[in-house]
Amino acid sequence: MKNYVRRKLFAALLSGVVLSMPIFLFAQDGEPTIKLSVIENDTQKICNAVVMVNDTTPVKGTDVNFYVKRFFGLLPLALTETTDENGEAKAIFQKQLPGDSVGNITLIAQLDDDESVSDHVVVPWGIKAKSETTFNKRELWASKSNAPLYLIITSNAIIAGIWGTMGYILFLLFFRMKKSGLDYEP
Amino acid sequence: MKTENENNENSMNEKADSRRGFLKLGLLTGGVALAGTGITQLLGETSENSGEKVKALTADGKLIEVDSSHIKKTSGNHSPENNIREGVPGKKFVMVIDLARCANKRACVEGCQEMHNVLPPIEYIKVKKMQDVELATPYWFPTLCYQCDNPPCTKVCPVDATFKRSDGIVAIDNERCIGCKFCMAACPYSARTFNFGRPKQVEYSKEHGDEKNICHTGDSSAVGTVSKCDFCPGEGAKGKLPACVKKCPNGVIFYGDENEDTVTNGEEIFQLSTLLTERAAYRQFDILGTKPRVYYLPPDKRGFPFEEAKEKINTEE
Amino acid sequence: MEKLKTESGNGETEIQNNISENGQKEKYKLMEKELMLYNEKQKIETEKRQMEKYRLMEEELLHPIQKIGLAGKVWIGFLVVICLAGLYAYYIQETKSKYETISLRDYTMWGVYISTFVFYVALSLIGALMSATLKLIKFEWYRPLSRIAEIIAVASIMLAGVCIVAAMGRPERLYYLFIYGRIQSPIVWDVIVILTYITASFLLLFIPLLPGIAICRDRLTNKPAWQKLMYRKLSFGWKGSPEQWKIVKKSLKILAILVIPLGVSIHTVTAWLFASTLRPEWDSTNFGPYFVSGAFSLGAAAMIVAVYVLRKAYKLEKYLTDKHFDFLGKMLVFLSLCYLYFNINEYLVPSYKMSTMHANHLLDLFSGETAPTYWLVILFGIAIPAVLPMLPVMRTPLPLTIIAGFAVIAAWFKRYLIVIPGLSHPFLPIQDVPQSWMHYSPSIVEMTIVVATFAALLLIITVFSRLFPIISIWEVAEGDGFNILKINKPVKKEQV
């Protein structure tokens, strides 16, 4: 009796191990991958991440985070989403975000457990970056070469007027004064 | 006799004439120099096209080709990639300070001093006790250079030593600064500090010479010149955060790029416009028209009670 | 009438013809001729007397140049010593740590150098006021005063520049202002307008001095060679020809008109150095006229002191008369009242509103730490000079000079009160700083340099008055009715 139970248990364990071996093997061989794509219709912009194992088996119940890539880090796009039986997690893109000069932004999907499992896609969903800059405008605070025109014109006009007058007096003093006295006999 | 005298006088007059000529020349140059200052401004630097083309990145991230003469020359020993007058291409640095989180830990002050090799009592970032209305509890108020978009300091600088860059940063060229301190008088936020040459500081700056220019705005410790918070553009260019942001234990200070509408304190990351809207952000003395690039989130719903500073700081001369 | 005309017009031959024609007419003619001769004689006599009078005047006005007494030498030596002390102080300031040698800190980054700079710019307006304005509105009593005013103007504007260099962190980079100057900066405006004013003031001093230099050249033959050479070179070949006088008169008229707007501009731009900042205590549209009116009242006060000292030291009572003190006293009253008006605008209006921005600063002045200085300055700088000289007895030389002397000292403190307390109350409170950062009081080095600039001002005036006539001889002579074309001849050799 005792032996029978022991044998039965062993057989069950063995068969369990044997049966589950392919799964274990599968799990060890196939790292989960994430594939990010976008769906865009008239009303919505949707980010769709598909988590698969060995590119064939969808993984259900894994948490996925969606981000927008920024210079100083990743800006979360939505709350964490969980994959369904197809291995899909969806996030609706609702943000008004600036992109590059043509409006491209980089979307990123990452596994919540393992940040190294990620995918990115570049989409033109951003706002075109403003190309206007006050950097080269003529402003009071701008550099010497970008001084406001009215300031340059008025200041030069005043300087020219006053120094012109004084130049005339200097001319009289240096070039006329002595000459005017040369022939004079008191 | 008479004729001889006259001859003598004539020859002397001739000599005098040549000397007078020199005087005349001097006076003339004086006048011309004055007029010249204005005229060169009118012409700007565009007058001398070199014909040499250089690739440059515009503020919106496009690569364009321009004549090399249009690229403003840097002064001193700055290499072109660290062009301190142009700024980091395509960026517009911005800061948000959450007053509800500040507990006067002063880690930002110390981190900044370490980063910029300055010793107390010089603080590029200060934490002040503020109380707007009598009945409310005071709050701690970190203040630094606001890198204003209509900078009063830059307006008054006589020699272009302080200037506004395309990335929004108001930087200082310490090799240009003549030490008139007009910018300090013009700044309504008292953000600027003068290198008076405090012996301890001079020695310290000398010892830490290798770490100089860490923020690419020249040797900010040069005695007789002005220095201030520079928003750590060297870090910002690499996508790293300024010292004050990194060091803050409470995540009070957020830093980012306005062009990307994002700010972060290293832990959390927010969309700038949303954060400013939701928390009713304001800028210090916005009424002055300086357009600061630093925003404050009001000290509402504070997570902890206000505590007075335990000891007096910077008492040593 | 017709006859006279013919006579004078056609000369003696015609007169002789007339004599032969008619006897009666001849007699009449003879009488007329005698009369003419008498008149001529009288005229020569008067001219001679006038010439003597003029020579005496020349003598008296050249006296300070002729001989420098012991007291004069000691005075010059004393001033030189103070100037050297100032130079040494500057050497210390520039070679040692400024954190230790001067009291300036981050909040009070402008101190006595800047306030003294403002004081000197204000003082330099004395030239535009005393010499140009009075000349243009033909106040005859300006004549002996104009040169004194001009030399004070030239000296003080030069020392204003010295103060700026002393205040600079990097004085060796001064020339950056010319090669990198930004036209947007009020400092650049100030540099331009001050250089222009220096030149105009210098010309306004130098051009009317030409006949005076010529007199020195011709009369002061006992002087050392370098001095004689200097007179010869600087007189620009002055012989007193009508054309030369024409040039002088023309240049003076142009310069007198030019120097008034320039004078107003330099002080207005100097006011803008403060008013163009966002600091509440300087944020005033009233600042330009407030500074200019202050400069004018300082000008009147400084003139009174200068006139008193010069007339005592050089015994010029005959030229700098009690009448001048009377006029200057009235002028001081008028200008101080103007200054009072602008002060009321500057302080009363903001203190009526008492906005939080202004409150700190204003309360500090009215009843705080700086209140004693503030009220003493109001009393001695504005109230007393505006009221007391209304009494004739107070317009006599000594009382007026005492009033004016206090007004000059108060004027310096007034600039101190504009610059320093204005900086001590920034928008954001001053916290967590060492004691010395909160309260500014000038260091020994700073005060030595400031005092040395005062000594330099006096030294420049003293040396100038020992080398050139401090009172314009020809201008006074012209005012006394002399014909300057005739009298100001170079002295012939035999006369010497």
Closest listed residue to residue B271, CA positions, set B279, B280, B261, B281: B261
pTM: 0.84
- Residue C48: enclosing H or E segment and its boundaries? helix C23-66
Strands B294-297 and B93-98: parallel
Q: Which residue has the higher pLDDT, B254 or A62?
A: B254
Rounded CA gap, B70 and C273, in Å? 32
Q: Kindly report the nearest CA distance between residue C162 and chain B, in angstroms.
A: 13
Contacts of A103 in chain B (CB under 8 A): none
Question: Which range among A75-89, B150-164, C367-381 shows the weakest confidence by mean pLDDT?
Answer: A75-89
Max CA pair span of chain C: 113
pLDDT digits (tens, 9 = 90+) for C324-364: 999 999 999 999 999 999 999 999 999 999 988 888 889 99
Contacts of A143 in chain C (CB under 8 A): 182
**Nearest-by-CA chain B residue for C194:** B34
Closest listed residue to residue B88, CA positions, set B219, B222, B215: B215
Rounded CA gap, C105 and C420, in Å? 12
Residue B66 scores a pLDDT above 60: no
B179: nearest CB among C168, C276, C431: C168
* Helix locations, C67-185, DSSP H: 70-95, 98-101, 112-126, 134-136, 146-167, 176-179
Q: What is the pLDDT of residue C20?
A: 59
Banded model confidence at residue C111, pLDDT cuts 50, 70, 90: very high
Q: Which residue has the higher pLDDT, C399 or B207?
A: C399
Rounded CA gap, C325 and C319, in Å? 12
Residue A47, φ and ψ in degrees, nearest 5: -95, 130
Q: What is the pLDDT of residue C23?
A: 76
Banded model confidence at residue A40, pLDDT cuts 50, 70, 90: confident
pLDDT digits (tens, 9 = 90+) for C263-321: 999 999 999 999 999 988 898 899 999 999 999 999 999 999 999 999 999 999 989 99
For chain B, the C-alpha Rg in angstroms (whole number) is 26
A180: nearest CB among C183, C192, C241: C241
pLDDT digits (tens, 9 = 90+) for C57-103: 888 888 888 888 899 999 999 999 999 999 999 999 999 999 999 99
Residue ranges of C 148-177 with Cβ closer than 8 A to chain B: 167-171, 173-174, 176-177
Q: Both ends of chain C: CA-CA distance in Å?
A: 44
Q: What is the pLDDT of residue A19?
A: 56
Interface of C with A (CB under 8 A): 180-184, 189, 192, 196, 199-200, 203, 206-207, 210, 236-244, 246-247, 250-251, 254-255, 258, 262, 489-490
pLDDT digits (tens, 9 = 90+) for B256-294: 999 889 999 999 999 999 999 999 999 999 999 999 999
What is the mean predicted confidence (pLDDT) over C466-471? 93
**Nearest-by-CA chain A residue for B267:** A73
Tokens of C57: 């005047």
- Please give the ipTM for the structure prediction: 0.85
Residues A34 and A110: beta-carbon distance below 8 Å: yes
Interhelix angle C225-234/C210-219, nearest 10 degrees:
140
Residue partners of C153: CB distance under 8 A and separation at least 6: C123, C124, C125, C126, C127, C128, C131, C201, C205
Mutate to test the interface with A, among C182, C246, C255 (most CBs of A within 10 A): C182
Q: Kindly report the nearest CA distance between residue C207 and chain A, in angstroms.
A: 8
Contacts of A157 in chain C (CB under 8 A): none
Q: What is the pLDDT of residue B310?
A: 84
Q: How many residues does the structure list for chain A?
A: 186
Kindly tell me the burial class for residue C9, based on how many C-beta atoms sit within 10 Å of its own C-beta (0-12, 13-18, 19 or more). exposed
Do residue A143 and residue B149 have CB atoms under 8 angstroms apart? no
User: Measuring CA to CA, how many Å separate A116 from each of A31, A34, A53, C172, C473?
Assistant: 11, 10, 15, 58, 97
Q: What is the pLDDT of residue C76?
A: 96
Instruction: Dump the DSSP string for C203-246.
Output: HHHHGGGHHHHHHHHHH-TTS-HHHHHHHHHHTTT----HHHHH
pLDDT digits (tens, 9 = 90+) for C217-254: 988 888 899 999 999 999 888 888 888 899 999 999 99
- Residue C302: enclosing H or E segment and its boundaries? helix C287-314
Q: What is the pLDDT of residue C11?
A: 52
Q: Kindly report the nearest CA distance between residue C3 and chain A, in angstroms.
A: 32
Tokens of B305: 């009670």
Strands A88-92 and A57-58: unpaired
What is the mean predicted confidence (pLDDT) over B80-97? 80
Q: What angle do CA B71, B76, B82 make, to 5 degrees?
A: 55
Rounded CA gap, B255 and B270, in Å? 10
Please check whether residue B154 touches A, CB under 8 A: yes
Q: What is the pLDDT of residue C180?
A: 93
Rounded CA gap, C271 and C291, in Å? 6
* Helix locations, chain A, DSSP H: 2-29, 149-171, 177-182
Contacts of A168 in chain C (CB under 8 A): 254
pLDDT digits (tens, 9 = 90+) for A47-97: 888 888 877 788 888 888 899 888 888 888 877 888 888 888 888 888 888
Strands B226-227 and B262-264: unpaired
Q: What is the pLDDT of residue A17?
A: 60
